[in-house]
Amino acid sequence: MKRRYLLAITMVSFLFVFFLLLSPYSTMNRAFADNHEGVTAATDFLSKLSNSLSEVSSRVTPSVVNISTTMTVTAQETPFGELFNDPFFRRFFGTPFGPEQKYRTTALGSGVIVSKDGYILTNNHVVKNAEKIKVILYDKRQYDARVIGTDPKTDLAVIKIDEKNLPAIKIGNSDRLRVGDVVLAIGNPFGLSHTVTMGIVSAVGRSNIGLADYEDFIQTDAAINPGNSGGALVNAKGELVGINTAIFSKSGGYMGIGFAIPSNMAKAVMESIIKYGKVIRGWLGVTIQNITPEIAKHLGIKANKGALVTDVVKGSPADSAGLKRGDLIVEYNGNPVNNTTELRNMVAQTRPGKIVELKIIRDGREITMTVTIGELPEKLAEAGTPAHENILKGVYVQNLTPQIREELSIPSDVQGVAVTNVDEDSPAYGILRRGDVITEVNRREIKDTKDFENALSGIGGNESVLLLVYRHGGYVYLTIKP
């Protein structure tokens, strides 16, 4: 009996120790199982994401085309070979001297098919001055294209090929984009056909970059490189939300900042070009500037956002509606106005003849009024004060406001007028740039637009001019010849 009793105790003890030793393994097994379930869930998520991106890419890529252009350019030979053609020497010594030589060159870009019958949306700078345009589809078919219309003010162009049943892209609503949304950029970087890159929307409403007159860019970190211009920026649904236009780069390649024209702006420009052969824009008839704390204080305005009216064109829609100098426009047709760029873009995209509601602040009181938008006159000087009919015709300038100084990083001791636009047919085109500050004209000091106009009034139509210009943190003398 005693022996059986001892045997039973031994068996119980053994089982107790066995289960005690086994318990860590049980915990480890449970941990392993939990971890395995977590890995499986993560793998499933990544697989679904990968499949979704692949599906969107395969659906959208056929709508993107490669564009090849051919043009004739003029260069000047020098006795020093290519040394003085180097961009470094061009920056400091200007255009090289010597006899002119013409040669043909090619360039690559991208485009997006927006209709089944062959309309393609791209950038103006992709097809500018092109003598021949070749479009290559995803399936390698090639077509000669013709330009339907261009709009340098937004850097957009519409071209067409003669074909039907093309894979047109679906155009999305770019106003619904949010910072952080996943986007894909599709184009022809460095000639690499139909390349897809992924990123997010880094910012919306970017302006004052100096790329176009009307700016409302989408900023993205999706890799955009030379050759991507005119390509598609699409959302997770495969809808076109932007036309890839430019990059911010110090090396000439991708640095994580790219810009695209919103699809809503591109669509409005495209439809106007196709229907009318040109871009018809709305016109309010005011000159405006951003509100600053100093100006707001002097005018007794508490608001820190809006577009301040500095002048009203006589007989314009704004004049008829009763707008006055000193009014602060804070809302346009139900949409808040944060700055002059937003107001300018909203007015431009409004159909002429449409009645819109404005909310303004005048003498500290909020007033609501209606105005019938007119059509922007073709020859209206939109970008500042135009020069006289001489060598600086087509150059537009405006006074240096605190806002402009801040945006262009211009020191307080620099005096002059800021170049806001240079027409393509101006003798100064390619010499003066947007953002330049003209500080002297023929050794005459310039402090404001009045000084600028007075200096130009004494210059004949065929006389050359010497300018002292502040650019990128330094001064440079520039000569403009007939």
* Cβ atoms 358, 343 nearer than 8 A: no
Closest to 178 measured CA to CA, from 201, 153, 150 = 201
Strand partners, 187: 195
| Closest residue by Cα to residue 231 from 394, 112, 314 | 112
Single-letter amino acid code for the residue at 19: F
Active site residue 472: no
Residue 4: CB partners within 8 Å, gap ≥ 6? none
Per the residue annotation, which of 63, 68, 174, 229 is the catalytic one? 229
C-alpha distances out from residue 440 to 180, 241, 395, 466, Å = 46, 44, 15, 8
Structure tokens at 271: 């439809």
- Active-site residue (options: 68, 151, 155, 436): 155
How many Å apart are CA 433 and CA 404, to the nearest integer? 15
Cα 184 from Cα 196, distance rounded (Å): 7
> Residue 352 corresponds to which tokens in the numbers above?
């002429």
Q: The dihedral of CA 136, 141, 146, 149: what is its sign?
A: negative
Measured on CA atoms in the order 178, 180, 183, 188, is the torsion positive or negative? Answer: positive
Active-site residue, 194 included: no
- The contacts of residue 40 (CB under 8 Å, 6+ apart) are none
Which structure tokens are listed for 54?
A: 């692949």
Residue 125 is a catalytic residue: yes
Active site residues: 125, 155, 229
